[in-house]
Amino acid sequence: MLRSLPSVSELLEQPAICELIETHGRQPVVQWVRHSLSELREVLLASPVDGEQAELPDRDALRADAVQRISRRAVQAERLQIHGVINATGVVLHTGLGRAPLGAAAKQALLNVAAASNVEVDLETGDRRYRGYQLESTWQTLTGCESSLIVNNNAAATLLTLQALCEGREVIISRGEMIEIGGSFRLPEIFELSGAILKEVGTTNRTKLSDYERAIGPNTAAIMHVHPSNYRVVGFAEKPAEADMFALAHQHGVIAIDDIGSGALFDVTTFGLPEEPTFQHSIHAQADVVLGSGDKLLGGPQCGIILGRNDYIEQCRQHPLARAVRVGKLTLAALGATLDSYAREVAEVEVPTLAMLRVSSADLRSRAEALKKELGELAGLKMEVRDDVAQVGGGSLPAVELPTVVVTLKHDLFSASDFAGRLRIGRIPVFARIHKDEVLLDLRSVQPEDDSRLALAVRLVRPTD
C-alpha cells in the first residue's frame, strides 16, 4: 500500500507545488511535502486490510490528496504571518491589533528611512549623535521639556528611569497607584527588577500630601506619581495635586517622577471625554521626569517616552540598560512624523486615533448606511444599522463608553462565531465584534478609507469556503 504513495521529488514537480515554491521558497515547501506524506502514510497504515489481495490505493488519488494537504499547509503558513487587518471591533486602541493606527505621514516616514538614514549621524557635521536627537526640538516646543529619550515601551521607560536614577534608594508612591496592566506588568515587580526600593504610603483610596512628607528620609531618591490608566478609584477618595507633590519633592531635594500612562499630547476633553494627563501639564507642574506611551492616546508607534530635565535624561541615556531598550529608525521616523502633526496643530485630523475619538455619531451613521448600501442584497445575509457603544481600549480612559454606529450581520447558514471567523481568515482580514448571535461591524475603529474594503471583505465570504 505504501508503495502507492508519491515520492517527494514527484510532488515537487506538480504544477500547483511549483507555484508554491515560487511564492514561498523551496525549503518550506519541501517541509510541507514531507509532513503531508507522513500524514498520508499514517492514514494508510491505519486503514483496514482484508487479506493479502486487498486492492491498492489509487496512486493518482493519493497524489491529488497530497497536493491538497500541501496547499492547506501553505494557507495556514500565510495566516501565521503578520498581516494588516481591518479593526471593526469598535475598540479604538486594540492591543491585540497593534493599538494606535499610524497616519499617512507616519507611513510615508517609514518608507523614507527604509534604506540608509541619519539615525545616529548629524548631517551638518558628519559627527555621531545620540539616537532620537532629531526629535529633541519638537519635544521642547510641544511640552517645554529640556530633553528626551525614546525606548521601546513605557514599561522599559519605567524600568530604565528607576534603575538609572533610584537604584538602591527609596521611591515613595501611593498605595492606590500599585498598578497592574496587561501582559502581567506589575509595578512592584518592576521596582524589584530595577533595584529601587518601593515605599508605599497612604491607603488604596486616600493618600494625602502629609503621607508623602512623613515618608521622606535620608535614603529617599524620588516621589513617583503613577496615573492609573486602566482603572479609577471613585467615591470616598483623595489624592494631592501633582504640582503639590512635585513641589514637596523639590523642597526635600528628591526627584519628582510622573508616569502619565497613555502619553497624551492633546486635551481630549475637547471631544467630550474625561480629562487625561498630558506631557505638557506634567512638565508645567514641574515634574523632573515624565514617562508615557507612544502608541496610545498620542497616536504614534509603540514606544516609551522619557521627557524632563537634561541631567536626569542624560543619566538615563548613559545607563547600560538604555542600549538594551532603545528603539530603531522605523519607530523614530513614525514618531517624528506623528509629532510633526501636533506641531502643525493638525493632529486631530491627521492622527487616526484622535480622528476616531472625535468623529460624531452622525458621521458614523452616514458611513454605516453607505456601507450597507454598498453591500447590497447578499443571499442569506440580514443587515441592520444600529446605535451602540464602543471603547477607547489600550488601558486608556477606562469605563468610558463612546457612542458608535454598527452594521449588524446575521447569516442564515453561519453562526455568528463561524461568520466572524471567516471574516478573520478572508483575503481582507477583518476583526469584528460578536454580540449574542450577530456579528457587529463597528465603524468607530474603522478608518474611512477602509469602508469599501470592509464591504468587499464581507462579500467575499462564501458558503462554499
pLDDT in tens, 14-24: 999 999 999 99
pLDDT at 107: 97
Residues of the chain with CATH 3.90.1150.180: 86-96+356-459
Per-residue pLDDT for 178 more than 90? no
Query: CATH number of the domain at 86-96+356-459, out of 1.10.600.10, 3.30.470.20, 3.90.1150.180, 3.40.50.1000?
Result: 3.90.1150.180
DSSP annotation string for 203-242: -SSB--HHHHHHH--TTEEEEEEE--TT----SS-B---H
What is the percentage of the chain residues whose pLDDT exceeds 70?
A: 97
Question: Which CATH architecture is the domain 104-350 placed in?
Answer: 3-Layer(aba) Sandwich (3.40)
pLDDT at 395 over 90: no
The CA-to-CA distance between both ends of the chain, in Å, stands at 32
pLDDT above 90: percentage of residues in the chain: 82
When pLDDT is averaged across residues 335-339 and rounded to a whole number, the result is 98
Q: Is the pLDDT of residue 217 over 90?
A: yes
Q: What is the pLDDT of residues 46-104, one digit of tens each?
A: 876 655 545 667 888 899 999 999 999 999 998 888 989 999 999 999 999 999 999 99
pLDDT of residue 179: 81
According to the model, what pLDDT value does residue 464 have? 60
- Is the pLDDT reported for residue 364 higher than 70? yes
Report whether 98 contacts 352 (CB < 8 A). Answer: no
Q: Which of 168-182, 189-203, 401-415, 426-440 has the lowest mean pLDDT?
A: 168-182
In which residue ranges of the chain is CATH 3.40.640.10 found?
104-350
Res. 235 pLDDT band, cuts 50 70 90: confident
pLDDT at residue 387, rounded to an integer: 97
The answer, yes or no, to whether residue 182 has pLDDT greater than 70, is no
pLDDT confidence band for 3 (50 / 70 / 90): confident
Nearest to residue 248, comparing CAs of 207, 289, 209?
A: 209
What pLDDT sits at residue 170?
A: 98
The pLDDT of residue 324? 96
Q: Is there a contact between 205 and 235 (Cβ–Cβ < 8 Å)?
A: yes
pLDDT tens-digit series, residues 122-141: 999 999 999 999 999 999 99
Please tell me the predicted confidence (pLDDT) of residue 49: 62
DSSP state of 176: G
- 403 vs 406: CA distance, rounded Å: 10
Query: Mean pLDDT throughout 353-367?
Result: 97
Quickly count: other Cβ atoms within 10 Å of residue 274's Cβ: 11
Q: Is residue 66 within 8 Å of 37, Cβ to Cβ?
A: yes
pLDDT at 218 over 60: yes
Q: What is the pLDDT of residues 99-125, one digit of tens each?
A: 999 999 999 999 999 999 999 999 999
Which pLDDT band, with edges at 50, 70 and 90, does 394 fall under? Answer: confident
- Mean pLDDT score across all residues of the chain: 93
Helices (H) and strands (E) counted in the chain, each on its own, are 19, 14
Could you count the other beta carbons within 10 Å of the beta carbon of residue 15? 7
